[in-house]
């Protein structure tokens, strides 16, 4: 199975990387593709440029086997919809390759507001990255959606897509918003993201005047 992790990556940090590694190792994913979005639909627009965000992803994952930077959303341009991304991947990989979309629980709570969510869920397995204490929706349309597709074991993720699976991941309370604020205030970013990414943010002057950034 090939994993897909989309996001602004503004900047990418250990919260993204550790959870992706947890899923890769637990499910034996052949690859995890990191896809920086071009134009956000459900969140504020990124501050760093598309090129800068792609470069940060490339720096962050350079030494990890099976982690791949995928620029397809940036190259396509316009608003980034997962439906379009999955369609593009299906053209590349064929209809039989299992795809797994890595989703945090916050993103999943809004999943039915996505463009054609049922079709998205048919094109890939939804791999929900959960933390201790998380509970699935108990009522409403999303709860019914989960009931129809939820599977209890990785072996049940059969076919190219269509299933939901809960994968516990390491809890790291790191957010890109906080990192941008730290950079804006001239506070250190060390040990919150990969060192090559920290150096890139400093050299590019991203998010603020980085004078004194450690």
Domain that holds residue 43: 2-172
In a domain, 113, yes or no: yes
Q: What average pLDDT does this structure show over 111-133? A: 94
Read off the pLDDT band of 8 (50, 70, 90).
Answer: very high
Is residue 152 domain-resident? yes
What's the confidence (pLDDT) of residue 213? 40
Q: How confident is the model at residue 136 (pLDDT cuts 50, 70, 90)?
A: confident
pLDDT band at 210 (very low <50, low <70, confident <90, very high): very low
pLDDT of residue 211: 38
Higher model confidence: residue 210 or residue 189?
189
Report if residue 212 sits inside a domain: no
Instruction: Tell me the pLDDT of the chain averaged across its residues.
Output: 92
Residue 132 placed within a domain: yes
Report d(CA 57, CA 73) in Å as an integer: 14
Would you state the pLDDT for residue 121? 96
* 195 located within any domain: no
Cα–Cα distance measured from residue 86 to residue 35, given in angstroms and rounded to the nearest whole number: 11
User: Does the pLDDT of residue 43 top 60, yes or no?
Assistant: yes
Summarised one tens digit per residue, pLDDT across range 84-110 is 999 999 999 999 999 999 999 988 999
Long-range contacts of the stretch 155-161 (C-beta < 8 A, 24+): 157/1, 157/27, 157/98, 157/100, 157/125, 159/98, 160/95, 160/96, 160/97, 160/98, 160/99, 160/123, 160/124, 161/98, 161/99, 161/121, 161/122, 161/123, 161/124, 161/125
Model pLDDT, residue 140 = 93
The answer to whether residue 212 scores a pLDDT higher than 50 is: no
Average pLDDT over residues 115-121: 95
Residue 137: what pLDDT? 86
Look up the CATH number of the domain holding residue 9.
Answer: 3.40.50.620
Residue 208 included in any domain: no
Of 163, 178, 180, the closest CA to residue 123 belongs to: 163
End-to-end alpha-carbon separation of the chain, Å? 39
In a domain, 188, yes or no: no
Q: What is the mean pLDDT of residues 136-141?
A: 89
Q: Render pLDDT for 9-32 as a digit per residue (tens, 0 to 9).
A: 999 999 999 999 999 999 999 999
How sure is the predictor about 196, in pLDDT bands with cuts at 50, 70 and 90?
very high
- pLDDT for position 209: 56
Count of domains in the chain? 1
Residue 92: inside a domain: yes
């Amino acid at each position: 199975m090939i994993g897909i992790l989309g996001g602004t990556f503004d900047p990418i940090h250990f919260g993204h990387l550790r959870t992706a590694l947890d899923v890769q190792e637990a499910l034996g994913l052949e690859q995890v593709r990191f896809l920086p979005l071009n134009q956000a639909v459900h969140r504020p627009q990124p501050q760093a440029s598309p090129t800068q965000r792609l470069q940060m992803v490339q720096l962050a994952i350079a030494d990890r086997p099976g982690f791949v930077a995928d620029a397809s959303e940036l190259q396509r341009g316009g608003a980034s919809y997962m439906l379009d991304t999955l369609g593009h991947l299906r053209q590349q990989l064929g209809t039989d390759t299992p795809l797994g979309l890595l989703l945090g629980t916050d993103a999943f709570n809004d999943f039915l507001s996505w463009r054609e969510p049922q079709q998205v869920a048919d094109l890939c397995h939804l791999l929900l990255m959960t933390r201790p204490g998380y509970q699935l929706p108990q009522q409403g349309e999303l709860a019914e959606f989960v009931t129809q597709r939820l599977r209890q074991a990785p072996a049940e993720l059969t076919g190219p897509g269509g299933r939901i699976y809960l994968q516990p991941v390491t809890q790291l309370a790191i957010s890109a918003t906080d990192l941008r604020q730290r950079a804006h205030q001239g506070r250190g970013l060390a040990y919150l993201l990969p060192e090559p990414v920290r150096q890139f943010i400093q050299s590019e002057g991203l998010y603020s005047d980085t004078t004194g950034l450690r």
